[in-house]
Structure 1
Amino acid sequence: MAAWARAVRGLLLDVSGVLYDSGGDGGVPIAGSVEAVRRIKASGLKLRFCTNETQATREKFVKKLQGMGFDISVDEVTAPAPAACRILKERSLRPHLLVHNDLVPEFAEIDKANPNCVVIGDAAENFTYANLNEAFRVLIGMEKPVLISLGRGRYYKETDGLKLDVGAYMKALEYACDVQAEVVGKPAKMFFESALAEMGVPPQQAIMIGDDIVNDVGGAQRCGMRALQVRTGKYRSVEALRPALRGGNRGKRGSNCR
């Protein structure tokens, strides 16, 4: 065993595409994933479930995973919505929400009157022209537009195929309003730093495991971690040829787990 592997104290584990494929009646566990989580916990390694899930509250998300047989609790999950709420409170921001209906309860304690920013997540069917245009009008009417995105993923996999993710719609608003979005989900450095702090493990002693070469692998590497890309979920062999980092340390690439 390599010296770096012996020094590992914690794992950051992506969920959708790594533990299960979403869609259908809520999702289907990937073969061996329930047992893998059980073995990780039995090993004594610290574990953090890191997700860009923005179609449900953490409570509902965890309940779904528990129903699939996973040993997981809410306090083991790092997700974008709670991080966004902290930012909104700290900066006295009042959001116009363009998010999935099931995520709205996460923002129950946030003042949303007279919005002075826009928060965008994976709104799924709520990504209509009318809703996107309403978010555009809120932003374009501000002297200094503030756009907060709960991720910047390009696409994700459900049981019926690949689906456009929040990043595509975030880019549309960025372009239309000439604004740079503040990303609070993966691959933002703040997201990974928060997960590491919650585990009490330094980046040099942690590994990120995910199916996204940019958001999971690249984001973790920029934070000083090692990362592994699994060949499930959104993984496609063509992506393995791309550098995980753009404009950074091009000598480090995500490993591919067989």
Structure 2
Amino acid sequence: MLLARLGSRTILNKMSIKAALIDLSGTLHVEDNETPGSVEALERLRKTGIQIKFVTNTTKESSQTLYDRLIKIGFKLEKEEIYSSLSAARDFVKDANLKPFYLLSEDAKKDFPPQSLENECNSVVVGLAPESFHYECLNKAFNILLKNKEYPLVAVHQGKYYKRNDGLALGPGCFVKGLEYVTGKNATVIGKPNRYFFEKAVPDGIQIGECVMIGDDANDDVAGAMNIGMKAILVKTGKYLPDAEIPVQPTALLDNFASAVKWIENYNII
């Protein structure tokens, strides 16, 4: 009898999923290729009526370039459905009236206010910028941060690595950590797994417990989402490594995004 009551209570307290936050690179696509069945799976997910928001730490591409890439691959979405760490960092820069020195790709800089003259810079913003991660640029950033202890170091995110067609590649995290080390500053981190980022991404009218995050990063996607009360699905595409430490056990560990959509469909039926 007790077990029956406990079982009923579990069913009654089970919150259906009303919104899905979906990572992009490594989850829906890798560069110009969809992950297996993701275009069709996204269309299936839309038919369920679940609200969708694409949340990404991608910092190498501007929002327009990223949107154009996804459309070219075959995904059907609106640009306004994408919430990126670049968008959040741009808002942070404007709100704080910063004049940053940018360690960003030329394309990503399109989303930000123009670069100030070097002697006017009062902050450093770091994203994924392979062409800028060399001694001279990093040294300029170092010296700007040394001018004033109040000048902030802003990390769009500090991912360790990401997936390209030719394998894994260094993310901006090690360069952020290097600047922290030499300046003694703690970076202000904007993107995933920042709590503020996830909370801002939740669609209006939806409770955090009614959201599921789908991503390939055990820390930035899964731990970040679950730490604020979301469900989270870790997919084995993109940067996923079977031997990597998982800081928080995901709600589900599945092969890919298409499998995650099937899981959500089944979860809301049970």
Residues 98-121 of structure 1: CA deviation (Å, up to 9, x unaligned): 10111111113x573411111000
Structure 2 residue matching 1:89: 3-state secondary structure: helix
Matching residue within 236, 251, 255 for 2:252: 255
Does the 8 A contact of 2:216 with 2:240 survive in 1? yes
Structure 2 residue matching 1:208: 3-state secondary structure: strand
Residues 3-40 of structure 1: CA deviation (Å, up to 9, x unaligned): 57761100000010011112xxxx21111010111111
Aligned-pair CA distance for 1:200: 3.4
Q: What's 2:116 paired with?
A: 112
Distance 1:5 1:32 in 2: 29
Matching residue within 58, 61, 70 for 2:63: 58
Count of residue pairs brought into register by the alignment: 243
Distance 1:5 1:29 in 2: 32
**Pair member with larger Rg:** 2
Aligned-pair CA distance for 1:237: 0.8
Q: What's 2:51 paired with?
A: 46
Matching residue within 5, 19, 32 for 2:28: 19
Distance 1:159 1:199 in 2: 36
Distance 1:55 1:191 in 2: 18
Point out where structure 2 has 5 or more consecutive residues left out of the alignment.
1-9, 256-270
Q: What's 2:154 paired with?
A: 148
Aligned-pair CA distance for 1:254: 5.0
Aligned-pair CA distance for 1:60: 1.2
Aligned-pair CA distance for 1:195: 0.5
Q: After TM superposition, list the pairs within 5 Å mapping 1:2-151 onto structure 2.
A: 3=11, 7-22=16-31, 27-108=32-113, 112-113=116-117, 114-151=120-157
Does 1:231 find its partner at 2:236? yes
Q: What's 2:223 paired with?
A: 218
Matching residue within 189, 192, 199 for 1:193: 199
Aligned-pair CA distance for 1:219: 0.6
Distance 1:222 1:61 in 2: 28
Q: What's 2:7 paired with?
A: none
Residues 193-214 of structure 1: CA deviation (Å, up to 9, x unaligned): 1100x44321100000000000
Aligned-pair CA distance for 1:143: 2.6
Greater relative CO, 1 or 2 (CA 8 Å, sep 6+): 2
Distance 1:111 1:232 in 2: 36
Point out where structure 1 has 5 or more consecutive residues left out of the alignment.
245-251
Q: RMSD of the TM alignment (CA)?
A: 1.7
Distance 1:124 1:200 in 2: 39
Output the TM-score relative to the length of structure 1: 0.89
Does the 8 A contact of 2:15 with 2:209 survive in 1? no
Matching residue within 145, 163, 179 for 1:157: 163
Distance 1:111 1:135 in 2: 13
Residues 33-58 of structure 1: CA deviation (Å, up to 9, x unaligned): 10111111111000000111111111
Distance 1:155 1:171 in 2: 14
Q: Share of identical aligned residues, percent?
A: 34
Q: What's 2:246 paired with?
A: 242
Does the 8 A contact of 1:184 with 1:191 survive in 2? yes
